[in-house]
Structure 1
Amino acid sequence: MAEMKKIATRVSYGNTLVELARQGADNLVVFDADLAAATKTEIFRKEYPDRHFDCGIAEQNMIGVAAGMSTMGYVPFVSSFAMFAAGRAFEQIRNTIGYPHLNVKIAATHAGLSVGEDGASHQCCEDIALMRTIPGMVILSPADDVEARAAVIAAYNYNGPVYLRFSRLPSPVFHDPETYEFQIGKGEKLTDGYDIAVISTGLMTSEALRAAVLAKRQGISVRVINMPTIKPLDEEIILTAARECRRIITVEEHNVLGGLGEAVCGVLSEKLPCYVRRLGVQDQFGHSGPANEVLRDYGLSAEAIAAAVREIVRPDHNTDDSANQ
């Protein structure tokens, strides 16, 4: 079986901006903060230099300028590393985009631990938590090139603030561009299974799929659910998984505090309590190293997910699911 093609979703982002402009999105403008080569907005800049604005290392100002442009009928995409887009500019996002509910798209690249050698100062594992607290903010975390392209298009067509999370590390392309359909607020069941459900997002979805294959070899059926929208969350697919699988693992390249795992637990604790284990960054900072090695160090690999699956489904593991009986 041929190895899947790998593309970083930040590249998908840059390519889709050009695609939108070519298809007639004349109101699309792009802002960057001295990182166009890294965020891949340089792809757009080369073809549409008059619609690309480099604000320098001044992310907070960039948010304010984009907010103003949105009030004039433009659809701004602002781009920087997640650490700076969500972290440094949080107040401006809250007050100048979130509060007036302006039509600005925040495209954050280099999210999570997979920034690798740049280390803890640039490995943003708190951005989803920050953006979830802003009322009305949509949060999209695509898993591969096909989904990332669809997410950018959906963000452009959506009227309101959107936070898009992209990775530096290339990820396997497992969606079929001919059949895949993206809808904001909808999760996606990738594999069927009833022993346990693994709900993943972003870069971790390909690892969850690999883990399901490893578990299947040991007779364990794993339902893999891809969750490209963190907010609004697809409650229906989560509740169905809780009813049918009774045990859930969430996997994210983000702090377990405030991310996908807590969002899933919030739904289940109110509507259908069941056993949940959150795999992610366990309230720690990252460290420098090759991206894949860093991910393994923090338990974010197919092998680690499969090990958690085996532990939870073993007969002597206590997962009190009496609430589901």
Structure 2
Amino acid sequence: MPVAPDRFRAILARDACTNAAPIFDPLSARIADMTGWEVCKLSGSFGKFANLAVPDGVPLANASDLVDLCWRIKRVCDAPLIVDADDGGGNALTVARTVRELEMAGAAAIEIEDNLVPAAFGRAERRHALMLSEEEQVGKLEAAVAARHRPETVIVARTSALSELPRSEALRRIAAYSRSGAEALMFPELPGGAADLPEIAAVTTLPLFVLGLPSDTFRDRALIAASRLRIRFLPHIPYRMAVQAITAALDHLAQGGDLEGLGERQAPEGLLRKVDRTAETERWQGRFLRSPTP
């Protein structure tokens, strides 16, 4: 089987758009892999929520936290992993280090965004409103490309320019990012919806990644082909459902609720053993464990 970065490039080469599983920790990544998703996406914000219980709106996490999380995800998930690396850790030099370490941790694609994280709550109207200069971001993307040890790793230029800047300036940025050596563009939102896609495609030849594309657009094969739309990121519904379920279960138990009332809402034993790969471990035990077990 090809390694994950090679598999991801094969997916990008298709004349089609692929959904990416919205994962946030090793458990969700394992389940996505087990249920047949071809690509997984680790969101910067939901990765912080799930693994550190910190908000995304101020800088309370660092690149080392992300690299550690990627190591743990790739230990249990063979599907190619797209990693949202936020601003890459700071300037162009820290971006280079972040890229190299995420590569070693198994990332198939690495997003570098053109925003700064606000230093404190209330310093920006929106989380992504503080835009870097075009010149600085191009330098960061060029550093990310140069830092790769494996040419298979895809550097993704993530931009909020369409939402934060005048349209002409945003399109100029998109064209500049396309010349940086990055091999895909990611848009966390399209202010004009699907109507933005042809305008974007007119200033770049790179494949596009989009968050939250409506289902009817996702099924429009002609538009997907014309705009080179390749990856669709989905809302983080699994994380939100997990938080709701955990909160409800613990609240029920804290209030003295009976255990029997939660029986049908729990994963059955067979599913748990499939997720934790009990059968696989038993096969390895049978093949390689020579000493007698107690």
By percentage of residues, which structure has more strand? Answer: 1
- TM-score by structure 1 length? 0.29
- TM-score by structure 2 length? 0.32
